[in-house]
């Protein structure tokens, strides 16, 4: 067995690095000289010392979203954001003013309406709007907070960076519809999508159950996976043992086999360039309308 001691350094300092290596070697030599009983005691002491750190690392809030798209004629998404294991007297929520892959600020908060906060028993909580994109909710010493709000989504003009819902489909970029919990952006989250029964879902997120619940490793991961919902057309292909999906909404005035062949070539080139494909599956979403516009936004998936 070898004990490794690492020193976290924010700058490259050769002297500190060498001292760290010396400490690591001395610790390893010390451990090797001990008898079996002493080694067992040292290991137990290390585990006892580290256990509070591991507990704190896993004690963050539990965050889940529900997106309701079952009233598409209203052009509104209904969002319910639940935060469990809250341990602070207040909690703050915010709408982002940016989107992955797009180098301009956006005023997504202007589309938010009817914001309400309740505790785990459904009692309304005191809430204050701190600025145009941030809401503070007083927890009232309750460990569960539910924030509900609606998002107006009726823009086909900038659908690549915003969201849209009507009787034909629903599409959202996460940054345009999901608030985040300030200070908990790195926590894992789940997303449940409620949709019209006949509609399908296309997204880069991993599905965890048959009731259309998906998971993300963090808030950034969640909003970097745009989602299409509706009766879209989908073509599939495999490169490098990875599934790839081409999802089309709108016009279909193209040669599908030609399109698939082109994207296969693009993905194969990326596989060679990066020496592999760093995902389990990938979804490309296309909106083909009669409007004269050409744009695209890069996403993690």
Same domain for 160 and 19: no
Over residues 223-247, mean pLDDT: 95
Same domain for 249 and 121: no
| Model pLDDT, residue 98 | 84
| Model pLDDT, residue 211 | 86
Residue 37 pLDDT level (bands cut at 50, 70, 90):
low
State which of 230, 245, 277 marks the end of a domain: 230
CB 63 within 8 A of CB 82: yes
CATH number, domain of 133, equals 2.60.40.3650
Same domain for 170 and 46: no
Is residue 193 in a domain? yes
Q: What is the pLDDT of residues 77-115, one digit of tens each?
A: 999 999 999 989 999 999 998 887 777 788 899 999 999
Out of 28-37, 47-56, 141-150, 190-199, which region has the weakest mean confidence (pLDDT)? 47-56
Structural domain that includes position 275: 233-288
| Model pLDDT, residue 299 | 76
Residue 213 in this model has a pLDDT that exceeds 70 = yes
Same domain for 69 and 155: yes
Q: What is the pLDDT of residues 241-269, one digit of tens each?
A: 999 999 999 877 888 899 999 999 999 99
Residue 66: how many CB atoms within 10 A of its CB?
17
């Amino acid at each position: 067995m070898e004990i490794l001691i690492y020193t976290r350094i924010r700058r490259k300092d050769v002297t500190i690095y060498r001292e760290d290596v010396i400490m690591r070697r001395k610790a390893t030599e010390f451990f090797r000289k001990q008898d079996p009983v002493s080694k067992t005691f040292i290991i137990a002491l290390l585990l006892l010392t580290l256990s509070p750190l591991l507990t704190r690392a896993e004690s963050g809030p539990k965050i889940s979203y529900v997106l309701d798209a079952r009233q598409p004629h209203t052009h509104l998404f209904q969002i319910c954001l639940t935060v469990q294991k809250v341990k602070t007297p207040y909690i703050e929520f915010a709408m982002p003013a940016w989107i992955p892959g797009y180098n301009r600020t956006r005023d997504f908060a202007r589309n938010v309406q009817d914001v309400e906060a309740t505790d785990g028993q459904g009692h309304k909580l005191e809430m204050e709007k701190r600025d145009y994109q941030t809401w503070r909710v007083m927890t009232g010493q309750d460990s569960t907070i539910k924030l509900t709000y609606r998002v107006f989504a009726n823009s086909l003009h900038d659908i690549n960076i915003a969201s849209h819902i009507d009787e034909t489909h629903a599409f959202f970029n996460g940054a345009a519809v999901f608030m985040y919990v300030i200070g908990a952006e790195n926590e894992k989250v789940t997303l449940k999508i409620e949709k019209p029964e006949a509609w399908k879902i296309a997204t880069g997120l991993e599905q965890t159950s048959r009731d259309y619940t998906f998971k993300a490793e963090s808030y950034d991961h969640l909003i970097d996976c745009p989602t299409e919902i509706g009766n879209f057309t989908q073509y599939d292909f495999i490169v490098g043992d990875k599934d790839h999906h081409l999802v089309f909404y709108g016009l279909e005035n193209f040669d599908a086999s030609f399109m698939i062949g082109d994207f296969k070539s693009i993905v194969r080139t990326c596989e060679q360039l990066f020496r592999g494909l760093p995902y389990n599956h990938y979804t490309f979403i296309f909106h083909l309308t009669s409007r004269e516009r050409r744009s695209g936004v890069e996403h993690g998936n």
